[in-house]
Structure 1
Amino acid sequence: MGDLGIVFAVLAGALLLVFLFLGAMAVRRFQLRRELGTFDASLSTRPGHWTMGICRYQEDSLEFLRLFSVSWVPAKTYVRSDLTILGWREPGEFERARLLPGSVVVQLQFRGEDFNVAMKYGAYNGLSAWIEAGPAVGVGIWR
């Protein structure tokens, strides 16, 4: 095998790895979107920086999973009883290019830390109902 054959084999292997990674990401996204209680969202923990992903409701927490990843482990987990909705707004001019069309920016607070989540208005309605339907802190047992 000559030098050209080795270069070709390395490039073919690298291309195969890229396709396998993209295929794994696509299968993960498809499986996540099939689950009940998931919605497309973008998360911003600092101004001007948005990360695309999928939010998933759990019994007592909201999980954020990055879109461009093959990991099933959530990047962020927010405990339901510590989440507070501060309000929502339309995206600013510079945010519109980074967010899904028709999204609203929901301002949330978790344990004193403010952050934003962009989602469709219908998903916002679901999120606010899910937070409000949770148990009062210190009262009863959440099952």
Structure 2
Amino acid sequence: MDAFGFPVAALTAVLLLLLLSLVALGVRRYQLRRTLGTFDASLCHAPGKWELGIGRYADKHLEWMRLLSLSPRPRRRYLRSSLELKGWRQPTEQESTKVQPGTVVAMLSYEGQDLQLALSFEVYAGLSAWLEAGPVIGIGTWR
């Protein structure tokens, strides 16, 4: 190989790897969005740290996956019976730059810890119904 052959081959390999990663991200996003029970949601688990992601309703869990990840597994799982919906509010001015436009912030409690989800109001209504539709706490139930 001449002096330019190796750098050009290396650059081509890096660009091809980048292109394949972008295609894989697109395929993952497409697969997740066409699955029933998925929705766009930003998660705030530490004050001021919002992450874009995708939520998914499972049988007994609310799953949350990062938007820019190749992993098919959820990053966080919240047991349905341990989630408590405290209400919703409009995003503050500081939050409005970190979350998607047109969202509301759902305030939740999970095992004593507060967490917030930024999602559309229609998705918030669905989340509220999903949580309320769970079995009532009592003898022989999982909640």
TM-score > 0.5, shorter chain as reference: yes
Separation in structure 1 between the aligned mates of residue 40 and residue 105 of structure 2, nearest angstrom: 13
Provide structure 1 residue ranges, at least 5 long, that are not aligned to the other structure: none
Report the Cα offset of residue 139 of structure 1: 3.6
State how 1:1-143 maps to structure 2 within 5 Å. 1-141=1-141
Separation in structure 2 between the aligned mates of residue 41 and residue 76 of structure 1, nearest angstrom: 13
Separation in structure 1 between the aligned mates of residue 23 and residue 73 of structure 2, nearest angstrom: 18
Separation in structure 1 between the aligned mates of residue 103 and residue 3 of structure 2, nearest angstrom: 52
What's the % identity of the aligned pairs?
49
Matched residue SS, 2:30: helix
Computed over aligned residues only, the root mean square deviation of the Cα atoms, in angstroms, reads 1.1
Report the Cα offset of residue 2 of structure 1: 1.5
1:81 touches 1:136 (CA, 8 Å); kept in 2? no
Write the deviation string for residues 57-104 of structure 1: whole angstroms up to 9, x where unpaired: 001110001000111110000000000011111001011111111100
Separation in structure 1 between the aligned mates of residue 82 and residue 89 of structure 2, nearest angstrom: 21
Report the Cα offset of residue 138 of structure 1: 4.1
Moved more, 1-10 or 113-122: 1-10
Separation in structure 2 between the aligned mates of residue 139 and residue 30 of structure 1, nearest angstrom: 41
1:43 touches 1:118 (CA, 8 Å); kept in 2? yes
Report the Cα offset of residue 120 of structure 1: 0.1
Report the Cα offset of residue 111 of structure 1: 0.6
Matched residue type, 2:134: G
Report the Cα offset of residue 24 of structure 1: 0.3
Matched residue type, 1:130: W
Provide structure 2 residue ranges, at least 5 long, that are not aligned to the other structure: none
